[in-house]
């Protein structure tokens, strides 16, 4: 039986066991996953895949209706951009400031009370990008 100090703190054996486990994990990672060399190789693959002039994203030019969806292709080969037409209030004023300024709430749809404690104003509609599909996969060796 060990001293009172060893039994109270678990002794040195568990600490050495944990250190050995960490070292074995590091060795296994280096052996099976290539360690830092693998990270460099992956970075080279990504750089090769993205090589060339940066592409231009074509935003849809036609007006939409709220919720309508469309796709565009830019000048970058093998990319498809997904868009949805949305409307949102772009300016939010705290209700107390709105009332203190003696402003009048308009019910014509140009203002909203949808956020508690705020008056939404400046309703704008626009195409928002919802996704990108990349057809050309990365080369994996």
- CA–CA separation, 127 and 133 (whole Å): 17
DSSP secondary structure string for all residues of 22-54 = HHHHHHHHHHHH-THHHHHHHHHHHHHHT-SSP
Do residues 66 and 85 lie in contact, with contact meaning Cβ atoms separated by under 8 Å?
yes
pLDDT in tens, 80-91: 889 999 999 999
Instruction: Please report the pLDDT score of residue 11 as a whole number.
Output: 55
Which pTM value belongs to this model? 0.50
Q: What is the largest CA-CA distance in the chain?
A: 84
Give residue for tokens 């705020």. 118
pLDDT in tens, 91-136: 999 999 999 999 999 999 899 999 999 999 999 999 999 998 887 6
What is the token pair recorded at 56? 């231009």
Cβ count near 127 (within 10 Å) = 20
pLDDT in tens, 20-63: 555 656 565 555 555 555 667 777 766 665 555 556 788 888 88
């Amino acid at each position: 039986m060990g001293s009172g100090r060893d039994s109270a703190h678990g002794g040195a054996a568990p600490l050495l066991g944990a250190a050995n486990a960490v070292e074995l994990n590091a060795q296994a990672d280096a052996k099976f996953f290539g360690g830092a060399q693998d990270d460099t190789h992956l970075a080279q693959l990504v750089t090769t895949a993205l090589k060339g002039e940066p592409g231009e994203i074509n935003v849809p030019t036609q007006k939409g209706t709220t919720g309508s969806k469309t796709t565009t292709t830019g000048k970058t080969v093998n990319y498809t951009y997904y868009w949805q037409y949305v409307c949102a209030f772009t300016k939010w004023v705290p209700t107390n400031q709105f009332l203190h300024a003696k402003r009048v709430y308009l019910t014509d749809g140009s203002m909203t009370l949808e956020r508690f404690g705020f008056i939404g104003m400046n309703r704008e509609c626009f195409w928002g990008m919802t996704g990108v599909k990349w057809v050309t996969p990365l080369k994996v060796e």
